[in-house]
Amino acid sequence: MNPELTALEKRTLSYLNFRHEASEEQVQMVRKAIDEMKSVARLGFASKFFSLEECPIDLSYKSLSELFTKSGSDSVAFLISTLGQAVDNRIERLSKTDPAKMVLIDAAANAYIEEVTNEFQKRLVLKDQTFRFAPGYGDVPLSMQKQIFEHVPEVRKLGLTLDDGFLMHPFKSMTGIIGFKG
Amino acid sequence: MAKRDIRELLGKEFIVFDGGFGSQLQERGVPAGTNSGEINIDRAELVKAIHKDYINAGSKVVVTNTFGADRFHIADTNELKTQIKAACRNAREAVEESGKDVYVFYDMAPTGKLLKPLGDLDFEDAVDCFKEQVLLSKDTVDGFIIETMTDLHEVKAAILAVKENTDKPLFCSVTFQENQKMLTGASPEQAVALMEGLGVDMLGINCSLGPAELEPVIMRMLKTARLPLLVQPNAGLPKFRNGETYYDVGAEEFSDYIRRFAQAGISGFGGCCGTTPAHIRACCEKTADLEVVYEPAEEVTRVCGTTTLVEFRNRVIRCGERLNPTGKKKMKLALAEGRLYDIVDEGIAQVEAGADVLDVNVGVPGIDETSVMTELITNLQEVIDLPLQIDSSNPETLEKACRIYNGLPLINSVNGKKEVMDAVFPIVKKYGGTVIGLCIDEDGIPPTAEQRFAIAERIVAEAAKYGIPKKRIVIDSLVLTASAQQKEVIETAKCVGYVTDRLGCATALGLSNVSFGLPNRPLINRTFLVMALYAGLKLPILNPLDKELMGAIDAFEVLNASDENAGDYITRHSNDVVAKPGAAQAADASQAASASSDAELEGKSALFKAIVKGQKHQAVDAVKSMGDMEPLSIVADHLIPALDKVGRDYDKGIIFLPQLMVSAETSKLVFDEIKDKLVSADEGSSKGPVVIATVKNDVHDIGKNIVKVVLQSYGFEVIDLGKDVDPDAVCDACEKYNPIGVGLSALMTTTVVSMENTIKRMKERGISIPVFCGGAVVTEDVVKKIGGDYYGADAMESVRICEVLQERREKETKA
Per residue in B401-432, pLDDT tens? 999 999 999 999 999 999 999 999 999 999 99
Lowest mean pLDDT, pick from B145-159, B338-352, B578-592: B578-592
Q: Are B129 and B72 in contact (CB under 8 A)?
A: yes
What is the spatial distance between Cα A177 and Cα A168, in angstroms, rounded to a whole number? 15
What is the spatial distance between Cα B146 and Cα B148, in angstroms, rounded to a whole number? 7
Cα–Cα–Cα angle for B655, B657, B660, nearest 5°? 70
Residue B744: phi and psi, rounded to 5, are -115, 140
Average pLDDT over residues A75-101: 89
What is the spatial distance between Cα B369 and Cα B375, in angstroms, rounded to a whole number? 10
What is the spatial distance between Cα B216 and Cα B584, in angstroms, rounded to a whole number? 52
Question: Which pLDDT band holds residue B580 (cuts at 50, 70, 90)?
Answer: low
Pairing of strands B790-791, B741-745: unpaired
Residue of B nearest to A137 (CA): B749
Residue of A nearest to B344 (CA): A96
Structure confidence by residue, pLDDT tens digits, B627-652 = 778 777 888 888 888 888 888 888 77
Q: Are B58 and B312 in contact (CB under 8 A)?
A: no
B657 → closest Cβ in A16, A93, A159: A16
3 state SS for B504-555: CCEEEEECHHHHCCCCCHHHHHHHHHHHHHHHCCCEEEECCCCHHHHHHHHH
pLDDT confidence of residue B770: 95
What is the spatial distance between Cα B772 and Cα B780, in angstroms, rounded to a whole number? 10
Burial of B486 (0-12, 13-18, 19+ CB in 10 A): exposed
Q: Are A173 and A85 in contact (CB under 8 A)?
A: no
Shortest distance between the Cα of B487 and any Cα of chain A, in A, equals 44
Structure confidence by residue, pLDDT tens digits, B424-444 = 999 999 999 999 999 999 999
Q: What is the DSSP string of A105-133?
A: HHHHHHHHHHHHHHHHHHHH--TT----B
Domain assignment of residue A2, yes or no: no
Q: Residue A96 and residue B344: Cβ atoms within 8 Å? A: yes
Average pLDDT over residues B606-628: 85
Domain assignment of residue A22, yes or no: yes
What is the spatial distance between Cα A159 and Cα A152, in angstroms, rounded to a whole number? 13
Domain assignment of residue A107, yes or no: yes
Q: Residue B750 and residue A19: Cβ atoms within 8 Å? A: no
* A14 and chain B in contact, CB less than 8 A: no
pLDDT confidence of residue B632: 75
Question: Which pLDDT band holds residue B2 (cuts at 50, 70, 90)?
Answer: low
What is the spatial distance between Cα B453 and Cα B493, in angstroms, rounded to a whole number? 11
Residue of A nearest to B754 (CA): A165
pLDDT confidence of residue B683: 47
* A178 and chain B in contact, CB less than 8 A: no
Burial of B647 (0-12, 13-18, 19+ CB in 10 A): buried
Highest mean pLDDT among A104-118, B570-584, B620-634: A104-118
Q: Closest Cα partner for B106 from B55, B58, B70?
A: B70
Q: Percentage of chain B surpassing pLDDT 90?
A: 64
Cβ neighbours of A167 in B, within 8 Å: 699, 748
Structure confidence by residue, pLDDT tens digits, A135-176 = 988 889 989 999 999 888 888 778 899 988 888 999 999 999
Q: Are B159 and B133 in contact (CB under 8 A)?
A: no
Question: Which pLDDT band holds residue B678 (cuts at 50, 70, 90)?
Answer: low
Domain assignment of residue A103, yes or no: yes
What is the spatial distance between Cα B30 and Cα B112, in angstroms, rounded to a whole number? 24
Query: What DSSP element (H or E) covers B614?
Result: none
Enumerate domains of chain B plus CATH numbers: 8-287 (3.20.20.330), 301-573 (3.20.20.20), 585-674 (1.10.1240.10), 686-815 (3.40.50.280)
Structure confidence by residue, pLDDT tens digits, B4-63 = 899 999 999 999 999 998 888 888 888 776 777 889 999 999 999 999 999 999 999 999
Domain assignment of residue A1, yes or no: no
Average pLDDT over residues B698-725: 85
Burial of A62 (0-12, 13-18, 19+ CB in 10 A): exposed
Q: What is the DSSP string of B320-378?
A: EEEE--TT-HHHHHHHHTT-HHHHHHHHHHHHHTT-SEEEE----TTS-HHHHHHHHHH
* A181 and chain B in contact, CB less than 8 A: no
| Domain that residue A145 falls in | 7-180
CA distances for A164 relative to A143, B761, B776, angstroms: 9, 21, 20
* A154 and chain B in contact, CB less than 8 A: yes
What is the spatial distance between Cα B434 and Cα A50, in angstroms, rounded to a whole number? 53
Q: What's the whole-number average pLDDT of chain B?
A: 90
Residue B438: phi and psi, rounded to 5, are -90, 135
Question: Which pLDDT band holds residue B496 (cuts at 50, 70, 90)?
Answer: very high
Average pLDDT over residues B204-231: 95
Q: Residue A102 and residue B705: Cβ atoms within 8 Å? A: yes
Q: Residue A169 and residue B748: Cβ atoms within 8 Å? A: no
Q: Residue A25 and residue B709: Cβ atoms within 8 Å? A: no
Q: Closest Cα partner for B105 from B53, B59, B49, B41?
A: B59
3-state secondary structure of B311: strand
Q: Residue A99 and residue B659: Cβ atoms within 8 Å? A: no
| 0.90 surpassed by pTM | no
pLDDT confidence of residue A34: 94
pLDDT confidence of residue A153: 81
pLDDT confidence of residue B594: 41
pLDDT confidence of residue B757: 93
Q: How many CA atoms lie within 13 A of B795 on its CB side?
A: 30
What is the spatial distance between Cα B661 and Cα B616, in angstroms, rounded to a whole number? 12
Q: What is the DSSP string of B74-100?
A: ---HHHHHHHHHHHHHHHHHHHHHHTS
Question: Which pLDDT band holds residue B595 (cuts at 50, 70, 90)?
Answer: very low
Shortest distance between the Cα of B760 and any Cα of chain A, in A, equals 20
Q: Are B508 and B541 in contact (CB under 8 A)?
A: yes
Structure confidence by residue, pLDDT tens digits, B90-142 = 999 999 999 999 999 999 999 988 888 778 899 999 999 999 999 999 999 99
Structure confidence by residue, pLDDT tens digits, B533-569 = 999 999 999 999 999 999 999 999 999 999 988 989 9
A80 DSSP β-pair partners = A46, A175
Cα–Cα–Cα angle for B418, B421, B425, nearest 5°? 155
Shortest distance between the Cα of A158 and any Cα of chain B, in A, equals 8
Asked if omega into A153 is within 30° of 0 (cis), the reply is: no
What is the spatial distance between Cα B600 and Cα B594, in angstroms, rounded to a whole number? 11
Q: At what angle do helices B277-287 and B251-264 cross, to 10 degrees?
A: 40
Domain assignment of residue A101, yes or no: yes
CATH code where residue A134 lies:
3.40.109.40
Q: Are B544 and B353 in contact (CB under 8 A)?
A: yes
Q: Residue A89 and residue B751: Cβ atoms within 8 Å? A: no
pLDDT(A4) > 90: no
B657 → closest Cβ in A17, A96, A169: A17
Structure confidence by residue, pLDDT tens digits, A30-72 = 999 999 999 888 888 988 899 998 899 999 999 999 999 998 9
Shortest distance between the Cα of B243 and any Cα of chain A, in A, equals 5
Q: Are B19 and B280 in contact (CB under 8 A)?
A: yes
Shortest distance between the Cα of A163 and any Cα of chain B, in A, equals 6
Domain assignment of residue A55, yes or no: yes
Shortest distance between the Cα of B32 and any Cα of chain A, in A, equals 10
* A21 and chain B in contact, CB less than 8 A: no
Lowest mean pLDDT, pick from B306-310, B442-446, B495-499, B667-671: B667-671
The count of other CB atoms within 10 Å of the CB of residue B561 is 10
Residue of B nearest to A146 (CA): B73
Cβ neighbours of B208 in A, within 8 Å: 157
pLDDT confidence of residue B446: 94
Q: Residue B705 and residue A157: Cβ atoms within 8 Å? A: no
pLDDT confidence of residue A93: 84
Q: Are A153 and A48 in contact (CB under 8 A)?
A: no
Does the predicted interface ipTM exceed a cut of 0.95? Answer: no
User: What sign results for the dihedral spanned by CA atoms B151, B157, B158, B160?
Assistant: positive
Cβ neighbours of B749 in A, within 8 Å: 136
Q: Residue A85 and residue B185: Cβ atoms within 8 Å? A: yes
CA distances for A146 relative to A88, A141, B126, angstroms: 22, 10, 19
Query: What DSSP element (H or E) covers B302?
Result: strand B301-304
* A136 and chain B in contact, CB less than 8 A: yes
Indicate which of B702, B718, B754 best probes the interface with A, i.e. most A CBs within 10 Å of its own CB: B702
Please provide the distance, in angstroms rounded to a whole number, between the alpha carbons at the two ends of chain A.
39
Q: Closest Cα partner for B85 from B41, B147, B46, B55?
A: B41
pLDDT(B261) > 90: yes
Please provide the distance, in angstroms rounded to a whole number, between the alpha carbons at the two ends of chain B.
83
User: What sign results for the dihedral spanned by CA atoms A50, A54, A59, A63?
Assistant: positive
Indicate which of A17, A36, A49, A103 best probes the interface with B, i.e. most B CBs within 10 Å of its own CB: A103
pLDDT confidence of residue B1: 47
- Number of domains making up chain A: 1
* A138 and chain B in contact, CB less than 8 A: no
From chain A residues 70-129, the ones with a CB under 8 A of any chain B CB are 85-86, 88-89, 91-93, 95-104, 106
Cβ neighbours of A28 in B, within 8 Å: none
Indicate which of A40, A95, A180 best probes the interface with B, i.e. most B CBs within 10 Å of its own CB: A95
pLDDT confidence of residue B576: 83
pLDDT confidence of residue B613: 85
Indicate which of A28, A88, A96, A106 best probes the interface with B, i.e. most B CBs within 10 Å of its own CB: A96
The DSSP letter of residue B121 is B
Instruction: Give residues with Cβ within 8 angstroms of B437, minimum separation 6.
Output: B413, B414, B415, B416, B456, B459, B460, B463, B473, B474, B475, B476, B505
The DSSP letter of residue B756 is H
Pairing of strands A168-169, A161-162: antiparallel
Q: Percentage of chain A surpassing pLDDT 90?
A: 49
Domain assignment of residue A34, yes or no: yes
